[in-house]
Amino acid sequence: MAEPTGLRERKKAATRLALHEAALRLAAAEGLDRVTVEAIADAANVSRRTFSNYFSSKEEAFFHGDIVRLRRLLELIRDQPVEEEPWTVLSRAAERLTTEMYGDPTPSWLAQRRQLRGRPDLLTHQMAAYTTVERELSTALALRLTDPDAPLRSRVLAATFLVTLRVAVQHWIEDPAGPLLHTIRTALDQAAPAHRTALPRAAPTDADS
């Protein structure tokens, strides 16, 4: 029974990917505002009803790739030894994800991503995807931290890391002068938290009250 289930899931993933890629192709060729759900379904050779089974809107179809990449990022982080320093784990996962999923982006891919850049109506969907993963990532990071401030620190680390990745990729899309991996590494190095021992908290004084 496991094999048919796996095959069914692979077919669903393939259909979802086909709809996502069709949406990006149409956006690059015709502009976002002219893309319709019907056009995406036609381009992917499926029905309008099939589209609705996978995505609730064309905007969701546009950002499916982001969801796939972020989910893979979580897998790469969770697979690493729990005793590793958190930022090292995050950086290593980001570099592997970049190698696995971006490879050598083509001009058409860059054109598609530029269509999505800076659109307020699409930013909401992108941020929703990042917010969902941010919560899961902070939970995973909290398991690697032992200090009393672990819940807060894990949220700060998760937010900092995801924003750094998003900004680095966006910067590279706007100016792909060198390899994306180099841009990712540079951004992560710049955003790395300072490694210093926390000082003891002073007892509150009258002036603090």
Asked whether the beta carbons of 61 and 40 are under 8 A apart, the reply is yes
| Cα torsion 163, 164, 166, 170: sign | positive
Distance CA 13, CA 19 (A): 10
The answer to whether 87 touches 157, Cβ cutoff 8 Å, is yes
Ordered mean pLDDT values, 10 residues apiece, the chain (209 residues): 65 93 86 90 95 92 86 92 91 93 69 66 72 89 88 94 91 85 94 59 45
Q: What is the pLDDT of residue 202?
A: 39
Q: Which amino acid is present at 138?
A: S
In terms of Cβ atoms closer than 10 Å to its own Cβ (0-12, 13-18, 19+), residue 126 is middle
3-state secondary structure at position 144: coil
Q: What is the reported pLDDT for 74?
A: 93
Q: Between 1.10.357.10, 2.40.340.10, 1.10.10.10, 3.40.50.300, what CATH number should domain 63-191 receive?
A: 1.10.357.10
In whole angstroms, what is the distance from residue 89 CA to residue 142 CA?
13
Task: Quote the pLDDT of residue 201.
Answer: 37
The domain spans of the chain are: 2-57, 63-191
pLDDT of residue 128: 76
Could you give the CA distance from residue 76 to residue 140 in angstroms, rounded to a whole number?
Answer: 11
pTM here is 0.75
pLDDT value, residue 22: 93
Correct CATH for 2-57 of 2.60.40, 1.10.10, 1.10.3470, 1.20.5: 1.10.10
Residue 118: predicted pLDDT = 57
